[in-house]
Every structure is written in C-alpha cells, then in structure tokens.
Amino acid sequence: MTFLKINNLDIEYQTRKETINASRNVSFNLERGEIIGIVGESGSGKSTVANAIINLIDKPGKITNGSILLDETELCNNEEVVRTIRGKKIGFIFQDPQTSLNPLFTIKDQLVETIQTHTDLDYNKSLEKSIKLLTEVGIENPHKRINDYPHQFSGGMRQRVVIALAISCEPDLLIADEPTTALDVSIQFKILNLLKKLTLDRNLGVLIITHDIGVIAEITDKVIIMRYGKIVEYGKTHQVLSKPASIECKSLVMSVPPANKKIDRFKLFSPEGEQIIDTSLNLTNNIIKNWKIRDLSNKKLLDFINVTKVFDGIKILSTKDADDKIQALDNVSFSIFEGESFGLVGESGSGKSTIAKIISGLLPPSKGEVKFENTSLFDPKNKLKIKKFRGQIQMIFQDPYSSLNPRFNIKDIISEPIKFFQKNIDHYSLDQNVNDLIDIVGISRTSLERFPHEFSGGQRQRISIARALATKPRLLICDEPTSALDVTIQAQVLNLLKDLQEQLNLTILFISHDLPVIRQMCDRVAILKKGCICEINQTESIFNNPKNLYTKELLRLMPKIESII
C-alpha cells in the first residue's frame, strides 16, 4: 500500500488576464521512512503542490483534476477530511521561523494547545509530552526553555521548535517548505540531520521543497525536478543528479557551483539543449575605448585598517548606557589589490554587509581608517578627492526587487549616474553610453523604455550591474548578488561578472555566505566571524587546507552536491 499517492494533479490559477497552470499532470508516490525532495526554480509550482496536499491553495487557485491519496483517503478538494488530518496526520514546516510561531505566546502554550486540539491528553500529559518533544529536537534544558517566548530563541532553535510543533501530534507525513533557507550553514546542517533522524526513528514520510541542490543531495532519497508546473525528472537522488536525462535537469546540475574544485566558467544550456559557449559579453571597441582600461598594476587599491564599528541608538540626551550598543566590527583589517577579486564569507550577523557599507561610504567607521589609493575616505580634509572617488567604488545589491527605483524606466536608471558625473553630456553621447552599458550586461536595447517590474530577478540584477558600471568604477562591491536568484540564473550572472572583470580589469569585493560560489569567484578570501576576521588566504589554500577551526567547521558543514556523485 502506498503511503502518499499523487495522481495527475492539475492546479490552475485564474487571473484577470490569463490562466496559469501551476501544476500539470503531477504524479508521484511517497512511502513511509522516505524523504522526497522537490526542486525547481521559483514559479515552478513546487510549493503549490505541497499546499494542495493540505488543501491550502490560495485563491484564485484551484485543483482542476487529479487525486491525492493519503493511506487511501482522498484529500483532493475534501476540506472536511483534510481539516481532521491537517496538523494531526500531516505536519508542516514553513520557511521562516521568525513568523511561523506566534510571538505573543510561550512555546509551552503553543505546543500544549496543539497537542490538546488533536489528542485527548490532559494538560499535564501534554506538557510532559511537549518537554519530551523539545528534548527530541535537541533543545537543551527543555524544562526551563519551554516557558520562553519565541523571540528568546535564535533562528535555528526556533526552527527546531517549529519542527517539534509539526511532529507534536505524531504525524505520518511531514511537509517542509524550504525549511533551512533562512538559516546559516552550520544550523542548516543540524536541522537537516535532525529531519533525517526523525524520519528513520518515527518512520515518517517527508516531503522537502527547496531550491538548493546541495540540501537535496545531502538528505533526500528521491528527487522530483519541476519546471513550469511539470515534473521533468523523478527518480533516485543519486541517479538523477549524477546522470541527468533531461535538458532542464542537466542545466540545473551544471549550474550548481561545485564546492570541491574551481571551474573557469559555468556551462550554460539553451532550452534546446545545446551548450551556449559564447561569452555573454559583446564589448564593442567603443566601450573599451571609453573605459580607458588601466593596466593591471597589482598595486594596493583599498586598505581597510583596524576598523571597528559600533552601532548605538540616537538619543536626544546622551547617556552612558552601554546596553544598546552593538559591536558589528572589531578591529578588522585587510587590503584589496588592483585587479583581484576578494571574497568575504561569514554567517548572518558577522558584519559582511557593514564592511560593504563602510567602504561605499554609507556608514562611517567608529574607529580605524579606510584608504582608497592611499587617500583616507573619511578624512574631512580630503572632501574634494573623496567626491571624485565615489564614482570609482560602486555596489551591486542583494535584493533585485528593491534595488531599482520602481518609478524610473531602465534608461533613467542607467543614465542617472552618467548625468551626475558628466554634467554637460549631450544627448547623443548619453544614449551611446546607455546603449553600450545595456549591451554589456546582455539586455536588449528595446527594453530601455520599460520599467523594473516588467523584468525577472536575473534581468534586474543585470540592470543593477549596468548601473554600477555607468560610473566606470575600479572597485565593484557585490553584496550577495546572486543569493536571491535561481541556480541557473546565478550561473549566468556569475559568468557575466567574471567576463566583466576579465575584460575591464575590475577589482571586485565579493560578499557571500555561499562557500561554493566564493570558491568560483574569488582569488583571495577572508572568513568573518562575529565581526572579527578568522583567516585570510588564497582561495584554494583556504578550501584545501584550512587553518582556522571555524573555517574547517564551515567547510565541513556546507551542503555539497558532490557528496553523492
């Protein structure tokens, strides 16, 4: 008897202008004690399928065809049955542990309430059970911690509580929608191991939805690869990832940055399955002439000397309270040489973005000095010089959805920095400049009149790159430029950045939490932990021969696609 059997599931979203098929003919089986992963790019319908199982599809979506059988019970469009099962027989883990617990209730209230709703246990028994659950998911000192509120737990601990909540009523099926996406590598590792252990101990069927192939490789038995609402490949994880049959799957696997070696470029595949070989760059002589490419001098370009940054609240009267001060950086020093790409790695809260903001001039350092070409960037005496340098340091941001002004069209976005630095530029050369830039990043000139919301995340990131290049910068700061993108798009954007660096001799400061990406992109890497630098070295020697304990730990814990191939 199959535990969960999904047959020919069709889900449609009817909007005003069109009908979107979020799921087309999706069928798969899940047995007890098995973990199935659903992978796909954003918009591929992976979450929709999971939501359909517990009948939580948002309007205007509806299931138009197919069946979902859980232990031979039909769940499809059967709200009365699903309501008794939801939470009891099916547990659900959401992506964001910050919002999936009610902040106004203690963990005890939430656990006990859930248990009492679905079982006949009395208060004391439920409490006892709650404590046992917390022990099981690895929360230390559960007797005491159970009286805490969600905000008193860290992100990883909170996700553990969510898991405890999800398994509190002894479900048979656990659905986890991007359970570790919001978490750091080390915590992700622990959570995945916990899920694996629970699956075996309790004989659960687990459905994991993620966009991270590394996670899939680490934990799942079978994998489903989805695209545009259809299953393109379904089979044993090892089989699918090592010998992908379909083009979509091949391009997905090829786009994942390998953690164990440095490759020159990512191989890209066209939808027809041919490999795209040409570089995404078509630099005209015009741009190169315009750019006045400097020779690689290997001189020191940026010097970050003993910088400390402390955040404190603004008060109308200054107090000597040290409580609300947060030390983001503690005596950090490094230097970046012209033409290299320098990587900054660290978990959330390690101060990576603070460094980016200090270099770009958005924040002043509390102590220490930042020198660009031996000129201090925060010395009021150098005001005129600093103004000139501003255009030479540019930044690409993480979130492609907020980094472009939604009210500007693409042409205005790109021409704004040009106009600012060349006040009396004429129309003709402005157009010329904008066209060149849009060509470099591989977006068609016809889209200049369009607005940001008409573009996809990857295209927006390309536009951001064009804007950053408009001032002909020498140092480009990339703050997690691809962490909001799908892997195949990430591969394209990383290729573009590599090409740009090669042809324009850019110096790049690359900030990321993703070690495999860093390995592909950077010449030298600094590992940050809680505002301090643990280790700075050549990328290859850090990955092959880490010296620092923390670095070793990070490298061990990162999810690797190679672990099964």
Three-state secondary structure of 453-493: HHCCHHHHHHHHHHHHHCCCCCEEEEECCCCCCCHHHHHHH
Alpha carbons 131 and 21: distance in angstroms, whole number: 44
- Tell me: cis bond preceding 271? Omega within 30 of 0 counts: no
Q: How far is the CB of 407 from other proteins (least distance, A)?
A: 4
Q: How far is the CB of 406 from other proteins (least distance, A)?
A: 7
DSSP calls for 199-229: HHHHT-EEEEEES-HHHHHHH-SEEEEEETT
User: Pick from 467, 472, 513, 560: which binds other proteins (CB under 8 A)?
Assistant: 467
| 16 lies in the binding site for other proteins (CB under 8 A) | yes
User: Pick from 18, 59, 277, 380: which binds other proteins (CB under 8 A)?
Assistant: 59
Residues 279/499, Cβ–Cβ less than 8 Å: yes
Q: Which is nearer to other proteins, 467 or 529 (CB)?
A: 467
Q: How far is the CB of 58 from other proteins (least distance, A)?
A: 8
**549-557 and 185-202 helices, crossing angle to 10°:** 50
Q: Of residues 410-429, which lie at the interface with other proteins (CB under 8 A)? A: 416-417, 420
Q: How far is the CB of 562 from other proteins (least distance, A)?
A: 34
Show the tokens assigned to 410.
């693409």
Q: Which is nearer to other proteins, 176 or 463 (CB)?
A: 463
Q: Which is nearer to other proteins, 58 or 426 (CB)?
A: 58
Q: Which is nearer to other proteins, 301 or 393 (CB)?
A: 393
Alpha carbons 352 and 171: distance in angstroms, whole number: 40
| 360 lies in the binding site for other proteins (CB under 8 A) | yes
Alpha carbons 478 and 398: distance in angstroms, whole number: 8
Q: Which is nearer to other proteins, 395 or 534 (CB)?
A: 395
Size of the site for other proteins (CB under 8 A): 30
User: Pick from 361, 369, 373, 376: which binds other proteins (CB under 8 A)?
Assistant: 361
Q: Of residues 370-399, which lie at the interface with other proteins (CB under 8 A)? A: 387, 390-391, 393-395, 397-399
**410-421 and 427-440 helices, crossing angle to 10°:** 120
User: What character string, x for contact with other proteins (CB under 8 A) and - otherwise, covers 426-465?
Assistant: --------------------------------------x-
Alpha carbons 2 and 451: distance in angstroms, whole number: 49
- Report residue 476: phi and psi, to 5°: -110, 120
Secondary structure E strands in 286-434: 300-312, 325-337, 341-345, 367-372, 375-376, 393-396
Q: Which is nearer to other proteins, 358 or 555 (CB)?
A: 358
The residue assigned the tokens 């320098």 is: 342
Show the tokens assigned to 541.
């020697």
Helix (H) / strand (E) containing 291: helix 285-291
| 404 lies in the binding site for other proteins (CB under 8 A) | yes
Q: Which is nearer to other proteins, 308 or 360 (CB)?
A: 360
User: Pick from 58, 140, 264, 278: which binds other proteins (CB under 8 A)?
Assistant: 58
3: Cα within 13 Å, side-chain hemisphere: 18
Q: Which is nearer to other proteins, 226 or 466 (CB)?
A: 466
| 155 lies in the binding site for other proteins (CB under 8 A) | no
Q: How far is the CB of 89 from other proteins (least distance, A)?
A: 27
Alpha carbons 230 and 30: distance in angstroms, whole number: 18
Q: How far is the CB of 148 from other proteins (least distance, A)?
A: 30
Q: Which is nearer to other proteins, 12 or 136 (CB)?
A: 12
Q: Of residues 471-490, which lie at the interface with other proteins (CB under 8 A)? A: 471
The residue assigned the tokens 């969510």 is: 162
| 229 lies in the binding site for other proteins (CB under 8 A) | no
Alpha carbons 564 and 223: distance in angstroms, whole number: 13
Q: Which is nearer to other proteins, 181 or 471 (CB)?
A: 471
Alpha carbons 28 and 249: distance in angstroms, whole number: 17
The residue assigned the tokens 């040489």 is: 337
Q: How far is the CB of 302 from other proteins (least distance, A)?
A: 15
3-class DSSP state for residue 74?
Answer: strand
Q: Which is nearer to other proteins, 175 or 396 (CB)?
A: 396
Q: How far is the CB of 361 from other proteins (least distance, A)?
A: 7
Q: How far is the CB of 61 from other proteins (least distance, A)?
A: 11
Q: Of residues 536-565, which lie at the interface with other proteins (CB under 8 A)? A: none
Q: Of residues 301-320, which lie at the interface with other proteins (CB under 8 A)? A: 314, 316
Three-state secondary structure of 265-286: CCCEECCCCCEECCCCCCCCHH
Alpha carbons 381 and 393: distance in angstroms, whole number: 19
User: Which residue type occupies 389?
Assistant: F
User: Pick from 402, 538, 541, 544: which binds other proteins (CB under 8 A)?
Assistant: 402
Q: How far is the CB of 509 from other proteins (least distance, A)?
A: 13
The binding site for other proteins (CB under 8 A) comprises: 16, 58-59, 314, 316, 360-362, 387, 390-391, 393-395, 397-399, 402-407, 416-417, 420, 464, 467-468, 471
